[in-house]
Amino acid sequence: MAISSTLKHVLPISVFERLKRIANGGVALYSMTLAQAHQYNKAYAKFDSTGQRQIAARMTFFTHQIEKGLSHTNFRYGFGHKPLQYLKQAMEKYQRADANYRTAAVYQSALAALHEYAVKHEGHEKEFAFAKALFPESIWAEAAQAPKALGGSVLITAESKARNNELTFSELSRHRHSIREYSDLPVSYEEIKPAIELAMRTPSVCNRQPSRVKVICDSSEIAEALRIQGGFGGYATPPALILITSDNRVFMTPQEHNEGFVDGGLFGMSLLLALEEQGLAACPLNTMFRPKAEKATRRLLGIPEYESFVMYIAVGHFPETVRTCRSNRLSDDEVTSVIA
Ligand SMILES: Cc1cc2nc3c(=O)[nH]c(=O)nc-3n(C[C@H](O)[C@H](O)[C@H](O)COP(=O)(O)O)c2cc1C
């Protein structure tokens, strides 16, 4: 026993073990990360991608931009010249990429958003002139025929949210929408706390619970965090902002390096539904930072490097009425393949 344990510590074995550990540890982590970057780089929807899925994604992105503009309480006539141009480009590419483009939900959503854009501009011909000239008449005619429910904005009332805590899971899920404009009422940590407590029921890998929650109630910190984030421009500062991070110290192997995003994403969804159940309005916001923005955010909010950013959630009270994006969904059949 004494001899074998001594042997374990003599050079050849310990060097071998050490090398094995390095290969299975740091080297594996960096090579997996590189392989992942390679796969992602081949797949993602670049400006000049020709794949149908990529074109559809870009079309959805620009439809979403239009839906955001349509939802604004302070509606700006003639908004969106850039997204309209990109949307046009994506729609034309999509027409070539999908023989059945006319019936595709993503295309119909784009048309429905365009139709609402046209309707909103009735009586504002001057501001509508750019969009009108951009798309051919045939598109405006098709847009007028697109089912309204597939795109554009949707009206939400505070009254309809008053009894959210009596809804079934199915009703709550179907009626939740991202809300980006809130009433003037402040939101306290105490109001958010029960939702966080409920979200703690979220499953995580081996129950290691990497998700960490920061509740930011200071208005100037929220404003600065969102200025750096960049995806909430044009909206008033929300009363509260939640940041979900993942504590990487709970993970044990290189292959777990993305797990914090999975567990954190699940946690975020639980939290969104829990907030909705409590009658609070919320909007998830990305934390997809470039290095400079990441560094600035870490400094601003005191986030240590062992925590990865998962997402923000803006929180407020529902105003009496508010519009938001319809954000139509693909059908379950479009995303499901049954592997028999
Ligand atoms: C991880 C994540 C990041 C998001 N980032 C933003 C964002 O930066 N700005 C924004 O206005 N909405 C953001 N959203 C909200 C989406 O636009 C919204 O969830 C989507 O359109 C679906 O609409 P719904 O939440 O109303 O169902 C984000 C959503 C998620 C899940």
Complete DSSP assignment for 128-181 = HHHHHHHS-HHHHHHHHHS-GGGSSEEEEESGGGTTGGGS-HHHHHHH------
Taking the centre of ligand 1 as the mean of its atom positions, its distance from the CA of residue 61, in whole angstroms, is: 11
**Residue of the CA atom closest to atom 19 of ligand 1:** 178
Determine whether the shortest distance from the Cβ of 311 to ligand 1 is under 6 A.
yes
Ligand 1 centroid from CA 286, angstroms: 7
Please, what is the average pLDDT of the chain? 95
Residues of the chain with pLDDT under 70: 1-12
Q: Is 173 in the pocket of ligand 1 (CB under 6 A)?
A: no
pTM of the model: 0.94
**Ligand 1 pocket, 228 CB below 6 A?**
no
Cβ–Cβ under 8 Å, residues 59 and 106: yes
Q: Which of 272, 286, 325 has most ligand 1 atoms within 8 Å of its beta carbon, as the pocket-test mutant? A: 286
What's the pLDDT score for residue 20? 85
Please give the number of the atom of ligand 1 that sits closest to the Cα of 64.
Answer: 21
In whole angstroms, give the CA distance from residue 178 to residue 238. Answer: 13
Q: How far apart are CA 30 and CA 47, in angstroms?
A: 28
3-state secondary structure of 278: coil
Res 18: pLDDT: 86
Q: What is the reported pLDDT for 23?
A: 84
Integer Cα distance of 152 and 220 in angstroms = 32
Res 19: pLDDT: 87
Out of 285, 289, 297, 310, mutate this one to test ligand 1's pocket (max ligand atoms within 8 Å of CB): namely 285
| Cα distances (angstroms) measured from residue 97 to each of 51, 91, 92, 330, 333 | 7, 10, 9, 18, 20
What is the structure's pLDDT at 24? Answer: 87
Residue 1: per-residue pLDDT: 45
